[in-house]
Amino acid sequence: MSIRIAIIGAGIMGADHARIVAEDLPGATLQVVCDAAPERARKIAEECGAADVAADPVETIRRSDVDAILIASPDETHAPLSLAAIEAGKPALCEKPLSQSAKECLDVIDAEVSRGRQFVQLGFMRRFDPAYRNMKAMLDDGALGRALMMHNFHRNVEAPPNFTGQMAITNSAPHEFDVARFVLGADFTAISVFQPAGVDASRTGAPVFMVLETDKGQLVNIEINNNAAYGYDVRGELVGEKGSILLNSPTPTRQNGQMMAYERYAPDWRSRFAEAYRLQNKAFLNFVRTGVFPAIASNAWDGYCAALIAEAGVEALRAGERATIAKTNKPPLYNR
């Protein structure tokens, strides 16, 4: 039987998920597109052949003709709607971040723990990206020895107008917080945050440079530059005791002309991480079918860790001081 999916939120990511469900997810049906703006929901529903549209997210989650939920509404709605999905007993793939408040993530964790199972798969899709997975596999293979440092670059063309100064840390950097934890198999213990001289921290998309320490003694730096202008560019390098692994931007073609070589950048994350999104959503469908949480996907605990690091990062930037990161105990439900 086909799994009937409701997409909550018909913005950039809701539209992208609707397209993936409609075109690239055999065994899934796009049942409902829900958005507070009916015309937005209708447009995507028509483009992707959804059975119905709706405006109320909680009612949509509870519908008897909906088996699973895909939450792609604004950041502040992610945790409340995850809670509604858990209450309805339905698995949810929730876009990142789970919340910008670690406390709110703990509410989601408590709800799952009290039901004795996981419902929320978190959309930190980079864990499914072939390049990051290669990096992890090469590190785990042992040939590089112990990982010492990880450098990360995250550059967007232009920050959206509603992007606040803090969102480099609370909305963009959580991708790196999560994928570095995944690749290194480590947790973060402290964060320091810097900005180039003369930068107005409250300005939309102001660049941020972070240095994090892990519980294995590794150093991880993250540059977030949401106004890099030239293209969407995510790169990195993992440095081990006996060598390093580069994470390149995969570009299938190169243009040659006028004594120059040109490579094209993706305009944003959807095309750069298209394969990661597809594999992530496939893993979610399998989770809905089998009830077995995907081995490499982020869960509510990972969402909590990312939110905690982001909170410490915001505080480190405000105070101009290194901030430590202290987690509560991990419930056994999240042991892998």
Nearest approach in angstroms of CB 172 to ligand ISE is: 3
Buried b vs exposed e over 82-94: b needs ≥16 C-beta within 10 Å?
bbbbbebebbbbb
Nearest approach in angstroms of CB 225 to ligand ISE is: 10
Neighbours of 66 (CB within 10 A): 21
Applying CB under 6 A, the residues found at the interface with ligand ISE are 156, 171-172, 175, 269
Which residue spans within 84-131 are E strands per DSSP? Answer: 92-95, 120-123
Complex with ligand ISE: residue 60 or 171, whichever CB lies closer: 171
* Contact call for residues 44 and 50 (beta carbons, < 8 A): yes
Complex with ligand ISE: residue 106 or 122, whichever CB lies closer: 122
CA 283 to chain centre: 15
CA 117 to chain centre: 22
- Give the tokens for residue 265: 């950048």
Pairing of strands 243-247, 233-240: antiparallel
Q: Which strands sit side by side in the sheet containing 68-71, from one edge to the other?
A: 52-54, 28-34, 3-8, 68-71, 92-95, 120-123
Query: Of 240, 214, 219, 284, which is closest to residue 144 (Cα–Cα)?
Result: 240
Complex with ligand ISE: residue 188 or 232, whichever CB lies closer: 232
Nearest approach in angstroms of CB 248 to ligand ISE is: 17
- CA angle, 74 then 79 then 85, to 5°: 105
Nearest approach in angstroms of CB 269 to ligand ISE is: 4
| Contacts for 111 with CB less than 8 Å, ≥ 6 apart | 83, 86, 87
Nearest approach in angstroms of CB 2 to ligand ISE is: 28
| Contacts for 1 with CB less than 8 Å, ≥ 6 apart | none
Complex with ligand ISE: residue 101 or 172, whichever CB lies closer: 172
Complex with ligand ISE: residue 111 or 304, whichever CB lies closer: 304
Complex with ligand ISE: residue 12 or 51, whichever CB lies closer: 12
Query: Of 230, 235, 192, 184, which is closest to residue 212 (Cα–Cα)?
Result: 192
List, as one string, the DSSP characters of 316-330: HHHHTS-EE----PP
Nearest approach in angstroms of CB 46 to ligand ISE is: 25
Q: Give the amino acid at 265.
A: Y
Nearest approach in angstroms of CB 223 to ligand ISE is: 12
Strand, coil or helix: 257: strand
Nearest approach in angstroms of CB 272 to ligand ISE is: 8
Complex with ligand ISE: residue 61 or 159, whichever CB lies closer: 159
Complex with ligand ISE: residue 32 or 317, whichever CB lies closer: 317
